């Protein structure tokens, strides 16, 4: 790891340590290894909270953050160096690396956990640990808490509270620092290139899987880890299935192709959707619906600025969609009624936004004190309205059935309003057709 990066992770730990305060100890385990089948594992992916604080991406590790603890504020428990194992599964930092490269004040091997944890917990007042998916670790922590109760009766010290570190950590992660925005911009630039290539390449007869391969080639060949989530390459009526990931249909010239695909770069996700006609121009029904989704998306984006609630872009997008759906004879009735009854959900059944960061659906509260949260500079969210008309929906005009359209951009809240981080990807009808009908 470079010196710069060590400084960044150290600053994050310092901020977190200040937030949990003296007398607290936080224990954060690495992600478990997931088995794909029998002896084959999924490629390892580190827990994002663990990585955010440590920059360490090995499994079977635990970090301890203990502000002003006499043994040191930052302890790491890691796999030991092991010549034989490293021949099979690659290099390990080991205790030496944890100290020299990752800024640990103290480092131990992971098999010392049962000795080390009680030493840190014994005198703590508050323990921060989130009961996660690792049942053995959960059981160990609960047992330690029980043991310390007895200690407290006898000696008057020991933790009285088990708290969730995510309350604090996720609030930190919600506001992106410059180095995080750099990684997100890079992930987005790579995705932008991939989406442009897909628009220019897809033709009647192309397999959805071929376009998926092209996208993911563009991701990997430009230094991304890969897709940040399973790529959706949905042609024709497949686009009306929100989480379609089979990607096994051969598309026809003139189908709409909905691509929801974003690369992950250095642990940061991008999340981008474009919808375009395969190998030609939009037909009339496609264009009418596309223009409506685009208008709703632009209204949603225009609403993004500090001080407005998280719901405001959604409300702006929904109102625009509902007005347009009436004009296109998809819905009938008063706009306010169609909104308040939720009748529009027949064609728009998901939300307009979510936070974006290390996770594609990133961490951070959407509601605070019972109210929708206000946007603030440094937050990144998606704006992604859509229209989905089932192929067998007899209530819709015939030429619109089987059309699914979504347009999704990644938007940073800035002091003056917003910046569309993915603005470089074509989305006007003219821009798109200059690629698809070239």
- Check if 4 is active-site: no
The interface partner of residue 229, options being Mn ion, ligand GLY, none and the CB cut-off 5 to 8 Å by kind, is ligand GLY
From the list Mn ion, ligand GLY, none, pick the one residue 286 interacts with, judged by a Cβ distance below 5 to 8 Å according to partner type. none
Whether 326 sits among the annotated catalytic residues: the reply is no
**Of residues 382 and 436, the one with the C-beta less far from Mn ion:** 382
- Identify the sign of the CA torsion 238, 196, 253, 409: positive
Q: Which of 58, 406, 409, 410 is catalytic?
A: 406
Q: Cα–Cα distance between 297 and 383 in angstroms, integer?
A: 7
Name beta bridge partners: 259.
Answer: 233, 274
Catalytic: which of 246, 250, 345, 350?
Answer: 350
- Give, for 24, the enclosing helix (H) or strand (E): strand 24-29
Two tokens, residue 216: 């993911």
Which entry of ligand GLY, Mn ion, none binds 311, CB below 5 to 8 A by partner kind?
Answer: none
418 among known catalytic residues? no
Residue 46 binds Mn ion, judged by CB under 5 A: no
Instruction: Give yes or no: 344 in active site.
Output: no
Set 4, 36, 38, 39: catalytic member? 39
What's the CA gap between 33 and 40, in Å, rounded? 10
Residue of closest CB approach to ligand GLY:
260
Closest CB to ligand GLY among residues 180, 384: 384
- 173 counts as catalytic: no
Taking the C-alpha atoms of residue 414 and residue 179, their distance in angstroms, rounded to an integer, is 16
Q: Going edge to edge, which strands form the sheet with 126-128?
A: 106-109, 74-78, 62-65, 24-29, 126-128, 161-163
Q: Which is nearer to ligand GLY, 58 or 260 (CB)?
A: 260
Alpha-carbon distances of 363 from 32, 256, 270, 419, rounded to whole Å: 20, 33, 14, 20
Binding partner at 255 among Mn ion, ligand GLY, none, C-beta below 5 to 8 Å by kind: none
CB under 8 Å to 60, separation ≥6 — which residues? 30, 33, 78, 79, 110
CB 377 within 8 A of CB 311: no
Among 180, 271, 311, 359, binds Mn ion (CB under 5 A): 271
Q: How far apart are CA 356 and CA 350, in angstroms?
A: 16
Considering only CA atoms, which of 126, 121, 128, 164 is closest in space to residue 143? 121
By CB under 6 A, name the binding residues for ligand GLY: 229, 260, 271, 354, 360, 384, 408
Q: What are phi and psi of 36, to 5 degrees?
A: -85, -50
Binders of Mn ion among residues 336 to 395 (CB under 5 A) are 382
**260 is an interface residue for Mn ion by CB under 5 A:** yes
Residues 6+ positions from 99 with CB-CB distance below 8 Å: 107
Q: In the complex, what is the shortest distance from the CB of residue 135 to ligand GLY, in angstroms, rounded to a whole number?
A: 29
Given the residues 193, 208, 271, 433, the one annotated as active site: 271
Q: Is 290 a catalytic residue?
A: no
Q: Which is nearer to ligand GLY, 130 or 273 (CB)?
A: 273
* In the complex, least distance from residue 421 CB atom to ligand GLY, rounded to whole angstroms: 15
Active site residue 60: no
* Least Å from the CB of residue 319 to ligand GLY: 21
Name the binder of 220 from Mn ion, ligand GLY, none, CB < 5-8 A by kind: none
> For binding to Mn ion (CB under 5 A), which residues are involved?
260, 271, 382, 408
Residues labelled catalytic: 39, 243, 260, 271, 350, 354, 361, 384, 388, 406, 408
């Amino acid at each position: 790891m470079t010196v710069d990066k060590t400084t960044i992770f150290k600053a994050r730990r310092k901020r977190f340590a200040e937030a949990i305060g003296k007398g607290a100890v936080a224990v954060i385990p690495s992600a478990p290894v997931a088995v794909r089948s029998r002896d084959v594992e999924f490629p390892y992916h580190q827990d994002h909270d663990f990585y955010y604080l440590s920059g360490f991406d090995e499994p079977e590790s635990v970090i301890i953050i203990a502000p002003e603890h006499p043994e040191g504020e930052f302890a790491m428990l890691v796999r030991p160096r092991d010549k034989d194992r490293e021949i099979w599964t690659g290099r390990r930092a080991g205790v030496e690396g944890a100290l020299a490269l990752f800024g640990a004040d103290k480092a131990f091997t992971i098999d010392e956990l049962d000795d080390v944890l009680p030493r840190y917990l014994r005198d703590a007042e508050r323990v921060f640990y989130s009961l996660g998916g690792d049942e053995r670790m959960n059981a160990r922590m609960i047992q330690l808490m029980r043991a310390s109760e007895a200690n407290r009766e006898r000696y008057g010290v020991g933790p009285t509270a088990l708290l969730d570190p995510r309350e604090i950590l996720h609030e930190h992660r919600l506001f992106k620092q410059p180095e995080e925005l750099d990684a997100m911009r890079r992930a987005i630039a790579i995705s932008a290139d991939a989406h442009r290539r897909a628009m220019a390449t897809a033709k009647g007869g192309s397999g959805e899987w071929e376009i998926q391969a092209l996208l993911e080639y563009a991701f990997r060949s430009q230094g991304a880890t890969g897709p940040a989530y399973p790529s959706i390459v949905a042609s024709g009526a497949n686009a009306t299935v929100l989480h379609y990931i089979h990607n096994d249909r051969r598309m026809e010239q003139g189908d709409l192709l909905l691509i929801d695909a974003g690369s992950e770069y250095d642990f940061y996700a991008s999340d981008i959707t474009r919808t375009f006609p395969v190998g030609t121009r939009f037909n009339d029904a496609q264009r009418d619906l596309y223009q409506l989704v685009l208008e709703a998306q632009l209204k949603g984006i225009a609403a993004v600025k500090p001080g407005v609630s998280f719901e405001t872009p959604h409300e702006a997008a929904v109102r625009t969609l509902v007005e347009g759906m009436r004009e296109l004879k998809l819905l009938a009735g008063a706009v306010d009624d169609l909104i308040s009854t939720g009748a529009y959900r027949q064609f728009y059944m998901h939300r307009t936004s979510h936070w974006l960061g290390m996770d594609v659906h990133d961490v951070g509260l959407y509601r605070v004190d019972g109210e929708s949260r206000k946007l603030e500079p440094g937050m990144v969210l998606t704006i992604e309205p859509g229209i989905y008309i089932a192929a067998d929906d007899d209530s819709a005009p015939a030429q619109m059935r089987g059309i699914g359209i979504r347009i999704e951009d990644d938007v940073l809240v800035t002091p003056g309003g917003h910046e569309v981080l993915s603005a470089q990807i074509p989305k006007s009808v003219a821009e798109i057709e200059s690629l698809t009908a070239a």
